[in-house]
């Protein structure tokens, strides 16, 4: 059974003064992420990748379609049930600062999810649990006495990852997790994510512009084009035997960059 399964999902936005301009951001999309697998999601800017991520996370509601998590229908889950779900299904954002309060010491930012999910870990063990996750991402606990602006981008993204891992997630949506980082740090964060996936059997929905990165770290690759999912293939087949004309152009354009 798939860890995360999206079926016939649709989302239309209205904009313009009278709401008369319709944007079909996600159009009849179905996909599945197996347990412990990574599904890479690629497509040009505006193709609907982040909208799909936000739908999966319950940050916005679909017009139609369903989202199942470990066999359970979570499409209309709200309130306490959704907050409890947020422990197992988490998201790592492109900008690590988005997840952290600028004026909170990082120690307090790290405690925040444990406060929200009270009962998961005994408060007297919080500091140990935090130190343990910082060790997983190779960060010095002394950094906890700093504010977000006093860390590098790579350090911040690793800290955000440690913060997610505190709650033992089973699936993480990664929306361009390394696109703000320079290439050497990018590889470091991707290798870390990959190692954690293997060790802990977490599933990833991995959104990226970088086809090489997606290919190196995904089991399967799905392509979005204007809100629709036009192709899904095992990662090696994707480069060798792209099916759709658009996918061929996407690969060619990426190689030219
Ligand atoms: N809240 C919103 N209101 C109106 N339109 C929106 C909203 N959010 C997204 N859109 C539109 O939906 C479409 C898909 O946007 P989305 O952010 O999902 O694209 P994306 O594939 O993540 O792009 P990128 O690669 O640039 O991050 C775009 O046309 C965007 O302008
Ligand atoms: Mg996006």
**pLDDT tens digits, 204-223:** 999 998 898 999 999 999 99
- With contact defined as beta carbons under 8 Å apart, do 201 and 36 qualify? yes
Residue nearest to atom 18 of ligand 1 (CA): 48
- List pLDDT tens digits, range 225-255: 999 999 999 998 888 888 888 888 888 888 8
Q: Which ligand is nearest to the CA of 48?
A: 1
Q: Which ligand is nearest to the CA of 52?
A: 1
Domains belonging to the chain, first-starting first, are 4-104+169-256 (3.40.50.300)
Q: Which residues are 32's β-sheet partners?
A: 5
Q: Is the pTM of this model over 0.75?
A: yes
Q: Which residues line ligand 1 (CB under 6 A)?
A: 13, 15, 23, 25, 43, 45-51
Helices (H) and strands (E) in the chain, counts: 9, 10
- List pLDDT tens digits, range 167-210: 999 999 999 998 888 888 888 889 999 999 999 999 999 999 88
For 170, the 3-state DSSP assignment is: coil
């Amino acid at each position: 059974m798939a860890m995360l399964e999206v079926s016939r999902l649709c989302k239309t936005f209205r904009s313009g003064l009278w709401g008369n301009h319709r944007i079909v951001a996600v159009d009849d999309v179905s996909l599945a992420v197996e347990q412990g697998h990574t599904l890479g999601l690629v497509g040009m800017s505006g193709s609907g990748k982040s909208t799909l991520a936000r739908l999966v996370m319950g940050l916005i509601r679909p017009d139609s379609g369903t989202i199942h998590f470990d066999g359970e229908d979570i499409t209309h889950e709200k309130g306490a049930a959704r907050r409890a779900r947020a422990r197992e299904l988490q998201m790592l954002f492109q900008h690590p600062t988005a997840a952290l309060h600028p004026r909170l010491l990082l120690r307090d930012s790290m405690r925040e999810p444990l406060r929200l999910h009270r009962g998961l870990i005994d408060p007297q063990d919080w500091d140990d649990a935090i130190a343990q996750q910082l060790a997983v991402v190779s960060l010095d606990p002394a950094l906890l006495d700093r504010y977000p602006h006093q860390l590098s981008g790579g350090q911040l993204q690793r800290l955000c990852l440690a913060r997610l891992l505190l709650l033992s997630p089973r699936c993480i949506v990664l929306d361009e997790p390394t696109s703000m980082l320079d290439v050497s740090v990018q590889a470091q964060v991707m290798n870390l994510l990959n190692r954690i996936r293997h060790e802990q059997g977490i599933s990833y929905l991995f959104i990226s512009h970088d086809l090489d990165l997606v290919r190196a770290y995904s089991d399967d690759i799905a392509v979005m084009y204007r809100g629709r999912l036009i192709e899904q293939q095992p990662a090696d087949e994707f480069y060798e035997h792209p099916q759709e004309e658009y996918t061929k152009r996407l690969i060619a354009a990426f190689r030219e960059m």
